[in-house]
Structure 1
Amino acid sequence: RLEGMPVEWRLSQVQKTQMARFVLPTTRMNIDWDVRPGMQVRLTHRPCKELEKGWSKTGVVHDVKHDCEVTLIFKEGTVDFKEGLNEPEPEPFPTDITTGFDIEVVWIGVPYKRMREAVQKLVTDEFAMTEYLLHTLLGNEVKVEKSEYSSNEIKYNLPDDWNVPNLPPLNDSQIAAIRHCLERPLSLIQGPPGTGKTVTAAAIVYHLVAQKKDKVLVVAPSNTAVDHLTLKLHATGMKVVRVAAKSREGLPYLVENLMLHNMVSMYAQFAKGQDHKLWKLLRKKQKKGELSRLEEIEFKLLWRKIEIKILNAVDVICCTCSSAADDRLKNLVFKRVLVDEATQAQEPECLIPLVNGAQQIILVGDHCQLGPVIKSSQARQASYQISMFERLVQTNIRPMRLQIQYRMHPCLSEFSSNTFYEGSLKNGVTAQERYH
């Protein structure tokens, strides 16, 4: 907690929302104040002459510059459907006061609550995933007899050409990995550095959509990883939507045009009838800063209606592992799930997207690189730093390894190949191409 801090106020001209900026003291720029976009921070001002009752408000970190300049964004006009018209009016911002604020990071328990619920659902909900996947993830020996989950029973029409529109040509190890995923209910794809892991993941999703016509859920533990894969997927021509936590919707993204909240706005703008009324309410809210209580409720209901339309219409839904338990997705069944950067996810975090009816799971990552970051020594003693991917490898599930690297100088790749990958990596670039 920082006390007596100066704050600068300004109004976002684009979103018509209040913003606040403060600078962390150099003495507090350490691990305890590792603030990042998306985190929630509470500003508090104690009672004074200008504020008889004091003031407190929680905002979302919008931007962090030079590791110390923090910009918060505040959202107004939210409606709790359980409370309806009884929600209190928001307090005005004390923009005339610029000193004496207390600042503290707000701990958010939602991701951990969702992890706990995913574990509980795994053992109590018989429809969470197939029996085969359940026993395989638990490390039990599974005999697959005549069923849709047997590799010779999955009815895919394998393509003659494995290459995907607007993606680089695939090499033999990438094609083998994709084919492996299409033929099995559970697949691990190991992507050493520079081997085209993201391209391979996008190609897997493309062929899943093309073959089975099912909606595919694509997740990763970090927003950055989700954004990069979303761009690749969109480039192939598939209908893709990126779902973010509502608290992060005001933040900048690499895929702004694919964000669900932006797609809702665009849809409403060009829709007809009742759906177009949402656009009129949105414009009024942006212009005046707020709606009446009844208008706000109607706005939220129309917004949710269009969200459902978009989610039902797309081929691929992309989000973080935690956001897979978002209320907007809870009524959807995801039979095919791909988890990118799976080796960086805590195991219960990785489980969240898998318990909505999974029949086919693809985990993409590399257990020879960075694993989940676990600071608690007690959690580490309980092997919490071991990802689901790595644990499954330890149960003798062999990952399909991508074998041609396109990033490093051959001398560098030789070291990593011999040290971590049994000398299996080959070079897709020459020494001359990597000479500077």
Structure 2
Amino acid sequence: MTTTPNAIGRLPWERMFAGHVADDSGDVITAILKQAGGDGTIAFSGGFPHPATFPKDALAESFTRILQDPASLQYGPTAGLPGLRDWFAGWLADHDGLRPAEDELMITSGGMEGLGLVVKCLVDPGDRVVVEAPTFMGALVSFQRASARTDTVPVDSDGLDVDALERLLTGPGTPPKLIYTIPDHQNPTGVSLSTERRHALVALARRHDLLIVEDVAYRELGFGDVRSPSLWSLAPDVVAQVGTFSKTFTPGMRIGWISAPAELVGQLVRAKQNTDQCSSGLGQLLLEDYGRSGRFDQGILASRAFYRARNRIMTDALAEHLPEGVRFTRADGGFFTWLTAPDTVDPDAFREAARAAGVSYVPGAAFYPDQRGEHELRLSYSRVDDATIPEGVRRLASALASADRR
């Protein structure tokens, strides 16, 4: 005998969802990010790496050999496979001048899991956290779902305003537990934290018992020859570095890392046991093989050149086509540039004009916890073809001009 579901109605989902679940305002952003250009839209919205940078030949070469390793298809240690952790600890020593101890490094399923584990282990409802304004929208959602109180510190051409952070830390109220920062080629602005401010930030963190959560998703994709020290290498006692291999290997493998004090890593490993238990063994073995072959560093050099050229095309097009009064950042690495339009531009009219023109972007409000930023927007040049970028900027500039109320 077959039965049918109760036809009386539906569950009262509005009452059943937890209080930290995001409201419907995120639907607009989700819709924009889904625009991949298949309908003729030029999508400056999604911050995805370009498939041309993926090491497909190296993966094909390694795949059959790696499958012979029993660890490739089996559960693995929650902290990550020993071989990958050993190789990457050495890589950090070579490139950042500091090797994490065995109990100071763990492998995660991408950078977002790493950030989520940090929030899960450290942030209780009502705790204060500090973020840059603007900052990565995924971090804002993580803090929102932990019911944290999110304070902001502005960003300028030299990155996080450390003086403003100091004023916040010495102000009234319960001290914040942590500050989340993207010091290298920030998402969404593309700017980097100056070396002077890096030293000032870690000194401030030590003075105020503040944990710095350093997101280094774009650190290896700098366009110049100057490489500032990572915050973790300057102060491993007060920094949790959250990283991802999505931009330097492949996003599909979902591999990242956390390097942090052993006390914190121990808690993060225990928390991971209750999320995905362990990251993909197959992906970890492929990454280790790729890294030990020397092709990881070669791939980073190629990716830097690839995105440097694309950034130059974007910057030149913005300088040529944007209406007077529109400002934009000149990124020194990564995937993004940040536009600020005059207050005379009607944001609703601009959004409709851009949609009609067939060009997408991410509105600035997505990068602030208080929904400010209505005259700002993020553009990503990472996955748009070279020949298409100028046309997309021209369409965007036309939409901006048509939405100006002057």
TM-score, normalization by structure 2: 0.26
Q: Which has the higher helix share?
A: 2
Larger radius of gyration: 1
Higher RCO structure (Cα 8 Å, ≥6 apart): 2
